[in-house]
């Protein structure tokens, strides 16, 4: 068993090392699920087999010691060498391969349950959500806000709140579901979303915006106009760069249901299909979002982002956001 445990730990180190070095993209949900199952198997084996076997061996040793002392006493020998308590302690000790598997099961199980059904931490890797979220923000995502989903397969089993325009959502990137993205919900199923000449409209109605002066972005070291935008009941800030052109790449028809979108020199208009959402970054001219890669299906939803719990470069960013 110790050899097999060593092989398992070696495979884990190789997997994490390749993930860290960029040789492949890891799946933390799947990894955590596998670790939970493996450590559960060791935990059950410890409780049902290994611990009782060690206890039986310690009891047998005690019986043997008692019989030995009785035999020596009959021979007139009163003083007997040997420390029974120390020997029993060594017999009852968990070997390292159980200590580092069965011993970790309760901790891994708690992390798995918290991360799968309650809250999951994420780190903001890019400036696509500036000014709402900055590079380096460590955020919390509610996994149950939109409903309870089974881990790994992400299948919803219990409904909760409906997705609303203006929500900041974490979702699996439709192009590569192994990656998690964060954007703002702009279009709901059935909506017609237009972003023309850097103006957002939904179902033919312009989304209200109010100019707020200039915004300086620490990441890009640049200024751009700042606006307050109201999507549904949510007021939030957006950053717009008037000098950027509305260019969305070459042939746009490379994502599922791309026929729902019309591209022009002024921008893009899309009809959101059933069961899908149109997502945009608050840094409107520096965001790879639904304008480029299409709609987010409901089964890709991870949860609703709601709180910055740490930014090591700026502690003032800690708190809730809209």
| Catalytic residue positions, numbered | 128, 183
> Quick check: helix, strand or coil at residue 193?
strand
- Among all chains, which residue has been given the structure tokens 């349950």? 113
Task: Determine contact, residues 110/35, Cβ cutoff 8 Å.
Answer: no
DSSP string, 45-103: HIIIIIHHHHHHHHHHHHHHHHHHHHHHHHTT-------HHHHHHHHHSPPHHHHTTGG
Q: How many CB atoms lie within 10 A of CB 233?
A: 9
The structure tokens listed for 228 are 């307050």
Give residue 131's region: left, alpha or beta (phi > 0; psi -120 to 50).
Answer: alpha
Rounded to 10 degrees, the C-alpha dihedral 266/267/269/270 comes to: 160
Q: Which of 112, 102, 4 is nearest to 54 (CA)?
A: 102
d(CA 120, CA 108): 14
DSSP string, 225-285: EEEEEEETTEEEEEE--TTS-----S----STTGGGEEEETTEEEEEPPTTEEEEE-SBTT
d(CA 170, CA 180): 7
What letter would DSSP give residue 321? -
d(CA 194, CA 102): 55
């Amino acid at each position: 068993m110790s050899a097999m445990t060593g092989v398992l730990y070696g495979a884990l180190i190789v997997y994490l090392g390749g993930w860290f070095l960029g040789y492949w993209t890891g799946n933390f949900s799947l990894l955590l699920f596998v670790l939970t199952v493996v450590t559960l198997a060791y935990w059950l084996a410890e409780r049902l087999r290994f611990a009782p076997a060690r206890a039986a061996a310690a009891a047998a040793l005690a019986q043997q010691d008692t019989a030995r002392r009785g035999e020596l006493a009959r021979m007139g020998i009163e003083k007997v060498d040997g420390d029974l308590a120390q020997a029993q302690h060594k017999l009852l000790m968990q070997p390292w391969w159980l200590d580092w598997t069965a011993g970790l099961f309760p901790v891994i199980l708690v992390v798995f349950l918290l991360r799968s059904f309650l809250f999951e931490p994420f780190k903001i890797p890019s400036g696509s959500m500036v000014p709402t979220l900055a590079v380096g923000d460590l955020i919390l995502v509610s996994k149950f806000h939109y409903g309870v989903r089974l881990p790994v397969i992400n299948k919803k089993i219990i409904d909760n709140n409906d997705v609303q325009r203006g929500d900041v959502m974490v979702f699996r990137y439709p192009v590569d579901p192994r990656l998690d993205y964060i954007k703002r919900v702009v279009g709901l199923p059935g909506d017609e979303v237009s972003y023309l000449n850097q103006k957002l409209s939904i179902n033919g109605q312009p989304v209200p915006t109010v100019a707020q002066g200039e915004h300086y972005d620490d990441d890009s070291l640049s200024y751009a106009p700042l606006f307050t935008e109201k999507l549904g009941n949510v007021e939030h800030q957006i950053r717009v760069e008037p000098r950027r052109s509305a260019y969305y790449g070459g042939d746009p028809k490379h994502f599922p249901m791309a026929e729902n979108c019309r591209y022009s020199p002024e921008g893009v208009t899309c009809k959101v299909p059933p069961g899908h959402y149109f997502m945009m970054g608050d840094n409107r001219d520096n965001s790879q979002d639904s304008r480029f890669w299409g709609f987010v299906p409901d089964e890709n939803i991870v949860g609703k982002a709601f709180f910055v719990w740490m930014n090591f470069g700026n502690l003032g960013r800690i708190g809730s956001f809209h």
